[in-house]
Amino acid sequence: MNTIIAFIFMFGLLVFIHELGHLIFAKRAGMLAREFAIGFGPKIFSYRKDETLYTVRLLPIGGYVRVAGEDPEIVELKAGHHVGLEFNQQDEVDKIIVNNKDKHPNAQVVEVEKVDLDHDLTIDCYELNSEEKKKFQVNRKALFVMDEKETMIAPYDRQFSSKTAAQKGIQVFAGPMMNFLLAIFIFIGLGFMQGVPVDEAIIGGINDGSPADEAELMEGDEVVSIDNEAVDDWIGLVTYVQERPDEPLELTIDRDGELINTTLTPEAVTEQGETIGRLGVMRMFEDDPSKVFIHGFTQTYDITVLIINAVGQLVTGQLSLDALAGPVGIYSATDDVVQTGIYNFFMWTAMLSINLGIVNLLPLPALDGGRLIFIGLEAIRGKPLDPQKEGVVHLIGFALLMLLMIIVTWNDIERLFM
């Protein structure tokens, strides 16, 4: 149960933060954000506030912010259509009722001649059984009612396509950016809770009964050399010891300015099928606020580099698709991480947030990176690409991504039962 709760919390947080970035910058640019969704598929929860519908959907494979103008939203009204019109106190049309007009007794039914809901916001029409032509002004926030479902119209200046390439680019990039910011925030928070690891090979704690305990090492001791080889940092110490299980090592310790020589043998332990050496010591942490903030950025940068390198290895064939994990694989890994404690869980969440940001920036159709490519081409050409052709490319890309997701998920399931 703990794993289920942790996974739902983690997935919801990562997707929420990502989509929140898209939503905030869509609204800042004046775009009409119709829906803010966590998940895909059927709705299991919905809540409307102002212009935006907030939903939670069944399939936990991502989320989206649906901005006006990015997909078909309302039925195109053509000459000859009969629609019902309701008016506000300024005699502007504030509801356009396409069907079920009998459920709206206050609506004036007219025959459409011409409608412009993008620029002029007008309806040219005739009253039924009359040759008298009328022209009505449509309110900027009028509702289009189809099957009793209300959808706000979107004047052109509120559509995604009306914005500059810079505004579009920022709105698309904001999602991955928020994932990186979340990771930085988590690392800073962990730094304040448990401190920042010291680079030097200084012992922060000793396990009872371990080789270090038997050799009477103490908290605060700094290992300056092993087997007469200088130790530059903690990573160097750990690496040297892990490569020499059951081998006697000569350590030179700096204890309050006094150099002490001692010999001890790392205990041989098995991790992930590999035998390594372990002294039974823990790393020193410090709580300097300035270093905590710096650590948040450097840790995010280091993990970003590692993930980018891994993506490069996938592209060049050095890693196979088996190295990828879908929701099932991530859930399984989360189960292992949860058992090790809350700190490691939040570390795992930060790493997945960085991973989500990087994956979304890949230049593939349907991902934010693919959309940024099209926006860049628009900026170079000085005019937008054909929306229909771009839509087809993104649709094909989305289908291929779903196929990849199915393959990866199948591999995850196979690994669970191996």
Name the residues annotated as catalytic.
Answer: 19
Q: To 5 degrees, how large is the angle CA 214–CA 202–CA 284?
A: 100
* Alpha carbon of residue 364 to chain centroid: 16
Q: To 5 degrees, how large is the angle CA 60–CA 64–CA 69?
A: 150
Q: Is 40 buried (19+), middle (13-18) or exposed (0-12) by CB count in 10 A?
A: middle
Residue 175 structure tokens = 């999602």
Residue 245 structure tokens = 């299980």
Residue 224 structure tokens = 């300056």
Q: Which of 84, 156, 154, 150 is nearest to 123 (CA)?
A: 84
What is the DSSP-derived secondary structure letter of residue 158?
G
- Measured CA to CA, the distance from residue 373 to residue 362 in angstroms comes to 10
Residues 240-266 as b or e (16 or more Cβ within 10 Å = b)? bbbebbeeebebbbbeeeeeeeeebbb
Pairing of β 249-255 and β 222-226? antiparallel
- Measured CA to CA, the distance from residue 327 to residue 12 in angstroms comes to 13
Residue 351 near residue 183 (C-beta atoms within 8 A): yes
